[in-house]
Structure 1
Amino acid sequence: MHHDRSILTTNRRRVIALLCGAVLTGTALVACSADGSGDQEPGQQGNAQSSPAPGREPVAERFGTEPRVLADTDHSGIEVSELFFTDAPAAVIATPEPAAQQRATSIALAAGLPVLTATGTNGPELAAEIERLGAGEVLTVGGVAVELPETVAIHTDDGSHAAFEALTGKTPNPVTPENTASGLLRQISALKPGDLLGAAPAEDPAGSATGAENPTDTETPDGTETDSPARSGENLDRLPTRGRDKERMPLVLAAPGTGIAAVATARAAGADVEILDHADPRVSEHSLELIRGLDGDPVIALGQLFGSAEHFTRTTELATTATTEQPGGGQLVFPGRRMIAYYGHPSGGALGIMGERTPGESVAHLSELVAQYAPLSGEPVIPAFEIIATVASGSPGPDGDYSNEADPEELRPYIDAITDAGGYAVLDLQPGRARLIDQAKIYTDLLKLPNVGLALDAEWKLGPDEVPLQQVGHVQADEVNEVADWLAELTANNNLPQKAFVLHQFQLQMIRDRETIDLEHPELAFVLHADGHGTASDKFATFDALRQDLDPRYFIAWKNFIDEDTPMFTPEQTMKITPRPWFVSYQ
């Protein structure tokens, strides 16, 4: 993994530090009409409402009253069908391929039927769900091979426009599917009866036209219409349809990574599904308003990416209690924005670029760099300071911990300057022999501010007999958890939005038992900061090693070293790193 050079050069770059001694989419959300009559066609969206109207019928009892996660771990949609459909005269079963999923979705929404996915190993579960639904007919899409009771009539879709019309009684309205997970799910959440998501096969005469409203006609080269030849799909019987339940549906949330069948099934049952950019209801002002407007109604999350039921319940609670938001809106640190940060200490440039100027001058200088990143990011880019609050020292000091703790008031001008500019501050701890939790508590008042996070620099965490520069330090997961527990409680007790919790690392040994760090703190955004420098190949070797077996709940950060990198990455090169870092700091 080529860490030796990184270790040595990192030690050299830190000598000065040691010797100084002084680092959504707006889709509708209520499935029924205001009076709860549910008289829309299957697949139609209701009027957007963020809170129940006075006198409206309660959500159906089967959905319960508490937040709930339908994990749908195999993306089969069975778990969603079990909750949202008490019965159905027919069902659609598709293979997992995107084209089959999109086709099945269009047909099912037009007919008001559940969509199930045949994974290749869930045949018995599919058969059991068909039996529970009381479905007498099944349409298979995409070459499904599954054993069903002989009493079930099986139709096979050939993918043509004509088959769509025969099966649904709807004239197909072709819709080109978007090429992103969130875009596709948003399209599904907005489909209307007759919308056909995806193109028909090339051999389908109707599909070769330009989406003509009448799929039985084609155009000759001179523009005149003529009857098409015998079409596929003409011998298919129309699928039975299921009317919308006369009951109110709950708020349903999905996000990139939610299964297509899960969203389609909830929609076909009559629910409107809100597609979030991230699997957390605090991601935007819009989603926050929805949660705050529940007024006792349940909310259903689709997909294991929303976490456990306990975790999801906690995120909904936090959505209603936090009284401030992140720069630009929402309560989450990431996603929603990327940060470009200067690293340093108020004592001067020896400890990083941030200290080379006054707070206001540093903000102005950093803003020029942020402007270079802005057009390279799909999210807003904001400035940030990573402020070294406790500095590892070459001498033990009066308390013997080989770390000098800055007076909180010394840091406040930089915090005020960056937050006044719409940015974010992170306090960095270089603890020496001190306990991280003890150092963190020194800055309690600063961490009670809404736009201030915390970073742990394990390189400078020393054992009881260790001194700086003789080894690269390390921290045990238990000590990280101790700080995380405290910071999460502080955040919740002060009704604060989520805080950045940054872990610096450039060697695997620096964070021992990393896999046991407790990430079940929705109050915190866990950020892994790749802190290596050198040549591009050295940096990437470290970066790739650190990300091996990394829990996907971590957000990735990257550091550019102004003097030590050879050469330092440009903003364009930095934003081409895969995965693209959410937090980029400069030292």
Structure 2
Amino acid sequence: MDEAQINLEQAATENRSQLVREEFRDKVHVLPDPWGLQSVELFFQASGSNSIIIAENTDSSQLRAASIAVAQRVPMVTYDDSMRSELIAQIDALGITRILLVGDLPFASTHGDLEILHDPGTTQALGEMTAFQFTSQVVDSPEGMVKAVADVESADFTELKAAWEPLYREERWETEPIPAQSRRDSGMSPVIIVTPESSVASVANVKAWGGEVWVMPTGDPRDSKHQMALVSGLEDGPLVALGPQFGDANLLTDRIMHGWNSSTHANS
């Protein structure tokens, strides 16, 4: 749509009129976490989850984990040693009983009642874990990862693959089912915005939860009228932004309140 055709007042009215779950009403959340932990807490802690997927911090493993997370509506995180203690706490809070490791991860739990599974990394294993046949989709570049995950729907059963990086495989690992969970958004999701720099795990968690994701070129909605239309009227929420590129909640709120001006927005 041409910018001249965008009516920001109408966009604001439509944005404010959406039905949204109570926990998101009148709130602006900015989640800077690169590993997906904050999105797991925000979207899954209220209902809990039987399973969680932990991905190695490689592009190919994150895309693989995201494919499974969205298909089975299971939360995921990207692993880093710096967040191990927080991850263990989140596992306890969610009531996790099953962990699927994707990639070459030395993760081990001290909880004896946790089932630790390993993804062999094959297309056949996807079918065995989910009971569905997946269709492969190649992502051309790292810059396209977020958009690819945002576009995948749970019913698509799409296996996202990185064109630039092979996926770690260990075919000797046996596969076990990862039961699908129900969507949790109740059709009342807040507006959720991301950019190509957002965390793949966080975007996958939104999709697994049941929400839709709007991919913006930058973290400043004033950079274009199209971007401002996505958030117009949402200075008091309901809005969730994924990534530090949006600043904090106060900065994002100020930018929305400032609005879009064709002559001054670029220098604001």
Superposed displacement of residue 51, structure 1: 2.4
- Match of residue 35, structure 2, among 76, 82, 98: 76
Which of these residues, 202, 218, 221, is aligned with residue 281 of structure 1? 221
- One-letter amino acid matched to 2:189: M
Equivalent position of 2:7 in the other structure: none
Following TM superposition, by how much is the alpha carbon of 1:125 offset from its aligned partner in structure 2, in angstroms?
1.2
Shift of 1:97: 0.6
Query: Retained in 1: the 8 A contact 2:67–2:159?
Result: yes
Q: Deviations over 1:155-192 (max 9, x none)?
A: 100110011111122211100013142x2211110013
Match of 1:536 in 2: none
Q: Do 1:92 and 1:139's aligned partners in 2 also have CA atoms closer than 8 Å?
A: yes
Cα distance in 2 between the residues matched to 1:107 and 1:203: 15
Contact 1:252 1:273 (C-alpha < 8 Å) held by counterparts: yes
CA distance in 2, matches of 1:263, 1:234: 28
1:253 aligns with 2:193: yes
Q: Larger C-alpha radius of gyration, 1 or 2?
A: 1
Task: Give the distance between the partners of 2:167 and 2:193, measured in 1 at CA.
Answer: 36
Shift of residue 53, structure 1, vs aligned partner: 9.2
The partner residue of 2:27 within 59, 66, 81 is: 66
Matched with 2:86 is: 125
1:300 corresponds in structure 2 to 240
Shift of residue 108 of structure 1?
A: 0.5
Of residues 173, 177, 180 in structure 2, which corresponds to 1:238? 177
CA offsets per residue over residues 345-379 of structure 1, 9 Å max, x none? xxxxxxxxxxxxxxxxxxxxxxxxxxxxxxxxxxx
Alpha carbons of 1:117 and 1:203: their partners in 2 closer, same or farther (altered >3 Å)? closer
Counterpart amino acid of 1:84? F
- Distance in 2 between residues matched to 1:97 and 1:234, nearest whole Å: 20
Deviations 1:187-206 (A, max 9, x none): 110013310001697999xx
Tell me the residue number matched to 1:171: 133
SS of 2:14's equivalent in the other structure is: coil
Distance 1:202 1:147 in 2: 21
Q: Does 1:137 align with 2:98?
A: yes
Distance between the aligned counterparts of 1:233 and 1:296, measured in 2? 52
SS in 2 for 1:51: helix
> Which of residues 84, 97, 110 is equivalent to 2:58?
97
Matches within 5 A, 1:529-548: none
> RMSD value over aligned CA atoms?
2.8
Q: Secondary structure of the equivalent of 2:127?
A: helix
Q: Of the two structures, which has the highest relative contact order with CA contacts closer than 8 Å and spacing of 6 or more?
A: 2
Aligned-residue offset at 1:145: 2.2
Q: Matches of 2:31 and 2:25 in 1, distance apart? A: 13
Report the Cα distance in structure 2 between the residues aligned to 1:127 and 1:108, rounded to whole angstroms: 19
1:303 deviates by 0.9
TM-score, normalised relative to structure 1: 0.40
Unaligned runs of 5+ in 1: 1-23, 25-48, 205-230, 326-449, 451-496, 501-523, 525-587
CA contact (8 A) 1:163 1:234 kept: no
The answer for the alignment partner of 1:161 in structure 2 is: 123
Contact 2:137-2:160 at 8 Å conserved across structures: yes
DSSP-derived class of the 2:67 partner: helix
Structure 1 distance, partners of 2:104, 2:142, is 25
Instruction: Calculate percent identity across the aligned residue pairs.
Output: 27
Q: What does 1:62-461 correspond to in 2, within 5 Å?
A: 62-72=23-33, 75-85=34-44, 86=46, 87-148=48-109, 149-181=111-143, 183-193=144-154, 194-198=157-161, 232=171, 235-245=174-184, 246-292=186-232, 294=234, 297-319=237-259, 322=260, 324-325=261-262, 450=263
Q: Secondary structure at the match of 1:122?
A: helix
Which residue is 2:9 aligned to?
none
The answer to whether the 8 A contact 2:28-2:235 is kept is: no
SS at match of 2:20: coil
| Secondary structure in 1 matching 2:139 | coil
Q: Deviation of residue 273 (structure 1)?
A: 1.1
Q: Distance in 2 between matches of 1:309 and 1:52?
A: 18
Letter in 2 for 1:168: T
Q: Is the 8 A contact 1:90 1:241 kept in 2?
A: no
Structure 1 residues 62 and 236: alpha-carbon distance in aligned structure 2, compared to 1, 3 A threshold: same
Counterpart amino acid of residue 265 in structure 2: Q
Change (3 A) 1:271 1:203: closer
* Separation in structure 2 between the aligned mates of residue 284 and residue 297 of structure 1, nearest angstrom: 20
CA distance in 2, matches of 1:155, 1:67: 36
CA distance in 1 between partners of 2:225 and 2:183 (Å):
30
CA distance in 2, matches of 1:278, 1:52: 20
Offset of residue 262 of structure 1: 1.1
Structure having the higher helix fraction is 2
Paired residue secondary structure (1:162): helix
Aligned residues: 250
SS in 1 for 2:192: strand
Question: Matched residues in 2 for 1:203 and 1:300: separation?
Answer: 33
